[in-house]
Structure 1
């Protein structure tokens, strides 16, 4: 039995839906407003990247419990073009969209755990977790 809820990302409204789902799950787990904002910002960035670069994908949000700790895990996956240079996209200030470039390095800072798997032509999978303090 999985505790996972997913939002398919196809249009901009789906980004809003993914954010809302993340905020609701964070609230249920007992995250404070600051961490709720961090989580929703991270989800927004991940969903936006799917929409902008892959066209479609999904964001799954799951309550996780490990070693007496509770957390919220976000799994963002797409089967888009993938990322050519992971090292480059993880540098602060790097942007391919002309945005501020907070992007993936920002997501990594907002959350506690961050794992990215991507290769050209094979899409991207990002798994990130925020632990309840």
Structure 2
């Protein structure tokens, strides 16, 4: 079965300041909790969103995030896209290498985000911008039940 999204429920958020980063994190957590993501899953997707939103602001000069709920049969998920019109990523393979950084950080933003979610894609063109899209699916474990048993 092909996952479906409801574009009517997609939410676009601007990324142009540190305050916007906090709002993106808050909104991602709210959507994830509403879809039944457990606390650990929420933390993972919020962490990935935080890293990617910061990259959008710092390296892309700002842009936007889009949050879209997904369904695939009984499974529910969340699709996040981060878009900018910045300089793009010249070498995606290198940028995905742990420890590689152009901004003085730890170099775990892109590669770390990829490990935290189920699906991860980068569409970038030097001089035209970047779109990073990720998808995370609920595990079906009710909230509050992670780590028990």
Q: Same fold (TM over 0.5)?
A: yes
1:25 maps to 31
Offset at 1:68? 3.3
What is the aligned counterpart of 2:77 among 63, 71, 81?
71
TM-score (normalised: structure 1): 0.96
User: What is the distance in 2 between the residues matched to 1:87 and 1:124?
Assistant: 14
What is the aligned counterpart of 2:113 among 104, 107, 114?
107
**Runs of at least 5 residues in structure 1 that lack an aligned partner in the other structure:** none
Offset at 1:67? 3.8
Question: What do residues 17-44 of structure 1 show as CA deviations (whole Å, max 9, x unaligned)?
Answer: 0000000000000101111011110110
More helix by share: 1
2:130 maps to 124
User: What is the distance in 1 between the residues matched to 2:73 and 2:119?
Assistant: 15
User: What is the distance in 2 between the residues matched to 1:34 and 1:46?
Assistant: 19
CA RMSD of aligned residues (A): 0.9
Show structure 1 runs of 4+ deviating over 3 A: none
Offset at 1:6? 1.4
User: What is the distance in 1 between the residues matched to 2:121 and 2:60?
Assistant: 18
Greater mean deviation of Cα atoms: 21-30 or 3-12: 3-12
TM-score (normalised: structure 2): 0.86
Offset at 1:108? 0.3
Does residue 35 of structure 1 match 2:41? yes
Instruction: Give the structure with higher Rg (CA).
Output: 2
Does residue 12 of structure 1 match 2:14? no
2:53 maps to 47
Paired residues, what number?
Answer: 133
User: What is the distance in 2 between the residues matched to 1:67 and 1:114?
Assistant: 21
Secondary structure of 2:59 counterpart: helix
User: What is the distance in 2 between the residues matched to 1:129 and 1:58?
Assistant: 17
